[in-house]
Amino acid sequence: MTDIFDAIQKSAIRIKDAIDVKDIGYSQQENSSGETQLQLDIKCDMIIEEEFSSVASIHTIASEEKEKEMLMNKDGKYFIAYDPLDGSSLVDVNLSVGSIFGIYENAFGAKNMVASCYVVFGPRVEMVFAHNKAKLHLLQGENWEFTKEIRLNEKGKLNAPGGTQQNWEPYHKEMVDSFFAEGYRLRYSGGMVPDLHQILLKGGGLFSYPGTSDKPEGKLRKLFEVFPFAFIFKTAGGGAIDGQNDLMTIDYAHIHDTSPCFFGSKYEIARVKEVYASNK
Ligand code: AHG
């Protein structure tokens, strides 16, 4: 898997340069989730596709920016689903964004995930790669330096509640408020990568993106966003559920499927499970 890791590192350096331009360019196209694609989204997608095209072990790729999956090498064994630039609409306000990669063996699906990775483009560029451990790397010039292993505490202090509040279920709002009543602090930028990165590096907390009245299946995509972060949180000693079930046990039918999702340390995830079980 070192070749995949290297390709992700190379693409991250190129994406960093692609972001740092004056005009990020609004295109007329929509992606498969009906969102307007920035030329920057398309450019980042092409950078990753190019870097992956020289990796023989990759069988198929699926991108948040592509309608369909794409065969790379029929003899390869890895299936990679990626979101080239998650939160790209935050670039024009100069907030952090990220790339997310789920690495699956033999086929897509949570049960086949063997590793996952994300890169956060903020004041610094960092990468977290989870295989047996979740490891943080920092970009220094053209070199990546291993920084530390990430481990979550049993309980955190941050609360990152996603989705439009007026569309939340009342019990979801009560649960979010109960964490604030316990002293949790609000941390939500609207970028999944930096919001989850903050929870991981500050020891814990809860990120939630529930099913809402307008989006009963949530907003975040299983293969590109939900499963990769579920894998990372579980590897770091935390939990990841859809309200009831461990996210790493749920199925998908279509590559662009979404799911409600909750990521956090053990204490917060236990509370979510309890609240959602009593409101089924
Ligand atoms: P986009 O890539 O369209 O900017 O969406 C970002 C995603 C994800 O990164 C973030 O957690 C979530 O959308 C935020 O959605 P809400 O604004 O609905 O909370």
Task: Read off the pLDDT of residues 141-184 as tens digits, 9 standing for 90 and up.
Answer: 999 999 999 999 999 999 999 999 999 999 999 999 999 999 99
Per-residue confidence (pLDDT) for residue 24, from 0 to 100 = 76
Q: Which two tokens stand for residue 27?
A: 């295109």
Considering only CA atoms, which residue is closest to atom 1 of ligand 1?
87
Q: Sketch the domain layout of the chain as residue ranges.
A: 2-149, 158-277
Task: Please provide the DSSP assignment of 230-279 as one string.
Answer: HHHHHHTT-EEESSSSBGGG---SSTT-B--EEEE-HHHHHHHHHHHHTT
CA distance 67 to 276: 33
What number does the ligand 1 atom closest to the CA of 86 have?
2
pLDDT, residue 139, reads 98
pLDDT given for residue 36 in this prediction: 65
Cα 16 to ligand 1 centre (Å): 20
- The pLDDT, as a whole number, for residue 280 is 82
**pLDDT, tens digit, 9 for 90 and up, residues 205-257:** 999 999 999 999 999 999 999 999 999 999 999 999 999 999 999 999 999 99
Distance 73 CA to ligand 1 centre (A): 32
Going from the Cα of 277 to the center of ligand 1, the distance in angstroms, rounded, reads 26
Average pLDDT over residues 102-108: 98
Read off the pTM: 0.95
Mutate which of 209, 214, 226 for ligand 1? The one with the most ligand atoms within 8 Å of its CB, which is 209
Mean of the per-residue pLDDT values of the chain: 95
Judge whether 170 and 125 are in contact, CB under 8 Å.
no
Residue 76 pLDDT greater than 70, yes or no = yes
- Please give the residue that has the higher pLDDT: either 68 or 39: 68
Q: How far is the CA of 33 from the centre of ligand 1 (A)?
A: 12
In CATH, which of 3.30.56.10, 1.20.1260.10, 3.40.50.300, 3.40.190.80 is domain 158-277?
3.40.190.80
Domain spanning 2-149: which CATH class is it, in words?
alpha beta
Average pLDDT over residues 64-72: 96
39: pLDDT strictly greater than 70: yes
DSSP 8-state assignment for residue 35: P
